[in-house]
Chains A and B, each alone.
Chain A
Amino acid sequence: MPSMSSESLEKYTLIITEKPDAANKIANALDENGKAKKIITNNVPNYQAYNKGKIVVVPALGHLYTIASKQKGKRDYPVFDYQWVPRYQAERKTSLIRIWLKVISDLAKKAETFVDACDFDIEGSIIGYNILKYACNGKEQVAKRMKYSTLTKEELQQSYSNLLPHLDFALVEAGLTRHEVDWLYGINLSRALTQAVQRSSGHYSTFSTGRVQGPTLKFVEKREKNIQAFVPTPYRIIMAKVETNDIVLDVEYEKPLETLSEAIAVKAACKTKEGLIEAVNISTFEKNPPVPFDLTTLQSEAYRVFRYTPMRTSNVLQSLYLNAMISYPRTSSQKLPASIGYQTILKKLSKAPTYTKAATELLAKPLLKPNEGKKFDAAHPAIYPTGNLPKKPLDTVDRNIFDLVVKRFFAVFAEPALKQSINAKVNINENIFLYSAERTMFQGWIKFYNPYVQFKEISVPELAEGEKVKVKRVALNLHFTKPLARFNPRSLLMKMEKEQIGTKATRATTIQTLFNRKYLSGTANFAVTDIGSKVTEVLSKYCPTIISPELTRNLELEMEAIQQGKQTKQSVLQTATATLSTVTATLKEKEEAIGTKLSLAILQLNMQERNVGACPECAGGELIILRSKKSGKRFVGCTNYFEGKCKNSFPLPQKGTIKSLGNCKCCGFPIITVYGRGKNPWKFCLNQNCPAKREPKR
């Protein structure tokens, strides 16, 4: 190791990573002694390591640069002049970024070689490119690129030994285009809506929409309209219970019946004690193992199994990736190349008692071949466990997701399951009833993926043609068709993927933004709020192209073409600018009508949020949150006060967000919850003399 005196003059390789955790992992993996020196410069961590020369690893904090309008201070639209600027120049509360960039710039001055080690995807490529271009004084053309899919020591060392000669400029170009197009759509449309409301009501409220947000909201809104206008269709099903070999089977009449008379006639005709099995069809089929996880499938599966939202799953995956326990999660690949080392991973996993049995069984196979899916991603393989086990106990959520990834990895290498399907026709007095069931003959991969897969296993007797059955019961059941289910986090994510809107990395965030803007409500079943509905209505009426999935899908295809070198950034931006010029002109022309509609929706939302329930003292009055003109303090009062009919009022805590929770079971007065920052929610009945408050606490 060089002496301290020569250290400051020594030239080094500067490695830039996306996050501090990644910098720590990379520095320690590359250091000859496995222990890099951590230095804190102005609160910015950076690491010194030695690997055939001095290395300095400095992290970013995600995106350090962003797009901003060249015209500062003006909030008018349309805006087509923009530039990339450090985030502290465009966003509030980002002063840390200024210091961070200063440290990177200082470190870059003494560096000889530059390596971009940010995640190998669109976002990572832009983060590295911008830092090299702006903070490292134009080093983006000479920098080398580290490509890796896991943060394991072996892969990082291998990646550093085989550096790519330059950045993936096509990927960078596609990324820059995506950011710039999204910025253009977002800023212009959001400003159009916000200004329309401001001019109409005189109040400022932020309205946002964008290239992906608009169509996503439209999906939910369209579904909601269908549900609200739905009228069910009645139909009748005749079910019978028949017994054979001491086992009772449920059989169903061959078709649903529309009329009551027809249904009664069939039921009456089935009043007999015996039936006959007319035909039995038994077939055996293989059920292939599941395919490896890409991000969307994993988010969807995590919601199905654990009810974790895509956003939550995404955050857990990022943390597991940074701990080198799983591979890079933002992938759309369903392929697992042999180069990841199936056997090594299984051997490492077998050290955990929970996985020993499954891993050993798979290792005994003569050939390990995964059942791969169709999706392919040039940058990364599917998500897989690296074999590294947690060094300290994981919390429940992390443990569940890790277990899901591991068991899925096992399942893809296992044998197909063997299932048998049994279909039979039962004749009850010349009326045909159908029976169908499935049973598992050989578990195969199901055993490895348990408890995350469950098939209903029922005991099926051996059925033979010509066999007589006892008719135990015949029942006529009335049913109604159901409306389509509301979107949930899983189905909305799948819909976005099917319609090819957004990217694997941004879809979960888009859904979250719709909630933050109060366009959507609900947790398990999404419903559009009045504001969300009005925004969609306005956009559908005045600029339908913006919320059509076609526009955003075409843009995605164009960006893919840029990545493949078949399309240029300039041409895509020109198309976007032309579309936006027409749309913003229309929006400006209709500003008054748009403003009126949206202002009304805000007013209704405000009223809904202020309303805590019906007044228990007067008829027709509503209790709402009011603010005293004299003291400025908030309280609950009755709407009938303004007509001189009711003086009912209640004091309120002056801080925190208030939400109504229905009525008290003891006294019928409204119950509210106060959410304060850093405090547990406080739930109480407005009635100070509520009997529940007098009861001694048990």
Chain B
Amino acid sequence: MEILPQPKLSRKERAKEMKCKVCDLEVSEEGFCELHLKAYGNILMKFEVWKKAFDVTWSQYLVRIQKNSLTGEWAKDVAKYLIEEELKDV
């Protein structure tokens, strides 16, 4: 299979790629740092339970967990980021 040439990124863009989507820490996986990646994993894992409990969509779920006082700060950060990303797409 032919490998397509990758677009060249500017230094600023490369630096941005190396940083977590939420904070300035080094990226671990999926564009998140180690700490926010753990929170992202939890958010993904709990969606099904919340969907069953409240019959909510992904966006509604993110808003709800962001407002919940028991949600951890990093999980709230990730939820906020994901909400903003969804709004951009809209």
Chain A residues 193 to 241 lying within 8 A of chain B, measured CB to CB, are 225-236
Chain B residue nearest in CB terms to A236: B53
Given contacts A234-B49, A234-B50, A258-B49, contact A229 B55 (CB under 8 A): no
How many residues on chain A are close to B (CB under 8 Å)? 19
The answer to whether A259 touches B52, judged by C-beta atoms less than 8 angstroms apart, is: yes
The answer to whether B49 touches A230, judged by C-beta atoms less than 8 angstroms apart, is: no
The answer to whether B53 touches A234, judged by C-beta atoms less than 8 angstroms apart, is: yes
Chain A residues 467 to 523 lying within 8 A of chain B, measured CB to CB, are 480-483
With a CB–CB cut-off of 8 A, which chain B residues contact A234? 49-50, 53-54
Judged by a CB distance under 8 angstroms, whether A39 is at the interface is: no
24 A-B contacts (beta carbon < 8 Å)? A227-B72, A228-B39, A228-B75, A229-B35, A229-B75, A230-B42, A230-B72, A231-B45, A231-B46, A231-B65, A231-B72, A232-B46, A232-B71, A234-B49, A234-B50, A235-B53, A236-B53, A258-B52, A259-B53, A260-B54, A480-B68, A480-B70, A482-B70, A483-B70
Map CB proximity to B onto A572-595 as digits: 1 under 8 Å, 0 otherwise. 000000000000000000000000
Given contacts A225-B35, A225-B38, contact A230 B70 (CB under 8 A): yes
In angstroms, Cα B3 to Cα A677, docked, is 70
Judged by a CB distance under 8 angstroms, whether B82 is at the interface is: no
Chain A residues 337 to 392 lying within 8 A of chain B, measured CB to CB, are none
In angstroms, Cα B41 to Cα A482, docked, is 17
Chain A residue nearest in CB terms to B73: A228
Residues on B facing A (Cβ under 8 Å)? 35, 38-39, 41-43, 45-46, 49-50, 52-55, 65, 68, 70-75
Checking A230, A233, A235 against B75 with a beta-carbon cut-off of 8 angstroms, the contacting residue is: A230
Nearest CB in chain A: distance from B31 CB, A: 16
The answer to whether A230 touches B71, judged by C-beta atoms less than 8 angstroms apart, is: yes
With a CB–CB cut-off of 8 A, which chain B residues contact A235? 53
| Sample of 11 more A-B contacts, CB < 8 Å, known A231-B46, A258-B52, A260-B54 | A225-B38, A228-B72, A229-B35, A229-B75, A230-B42, A232-B71, A233-B49, A234-B54, A258-B49, A259-B52, A483-B70
Chain A residue nearest in CB terms to B64: A234
With a CB–CB cut-off of 8 A, which chain B residues contact A481? 70
Checking B39, B54, B70, B73 against A232 with a beta-carbon cut-off of 8 angstroms, the contacting residue is: B70
The answer to whether A228 touches B55, judged by C-beta atoms less than 8 angstroms apart, is: no
In angstroms, Cα B65 to Cα A236, docked, is 17
With a CB–CB cut-off of 8 A, which chain A residues contact B74? 228-229
Nearest CB in chain A: distance from B40 CB, A: 9
Chain B residue nearest in CB terms to A600: B24
Checking A226, A228, A258, A483 against B53 with a beta-carbon cut-off of 8 angstroms, the contacting residue is: A258
With a CB–CB cut-off of 8 A, which chain B residues contact A229? 35, 38-39, 41-42, 72, 74-75
With a CB–CB cut-off of 8 A, which chain B residues contact A228? 35, 39, 72-75
With a CB–CB cut-off of 8 A, which chain A residues contact B35? 225, 228-229
Chain A residue nearest in CB terms to B65: A231
Chain A residue nearest in CB terms to B79: A231
Nearest CB in chain B: distance from A541 CB, A: 10
Given contacts A225-B35, A225-B38, contact A231 B53 (CB under 8 A): no
Chain B residue nearest in CB terms to A263: B53
Chain A residues 230 to 268 lying within 8 A of chain B, measured CB to CB, are 230-236, 258-260
Nearest CB in chain B: distance from A525 CB, A: 14
Nearest CB in chain A: distance from B42 CB, A: 4
- Among B42, B46, B72, B74, residue most surrounded by chain A Cβ atoms (within 10 Å): B72
In angstroms, Cα B72 to Cα A482, docked, is 10
In angstroms, Cα B52 to Cα A89, docked, is 69
With a CB–CB cut-off of 8 A, which chain A residues contact B54? 234, 260
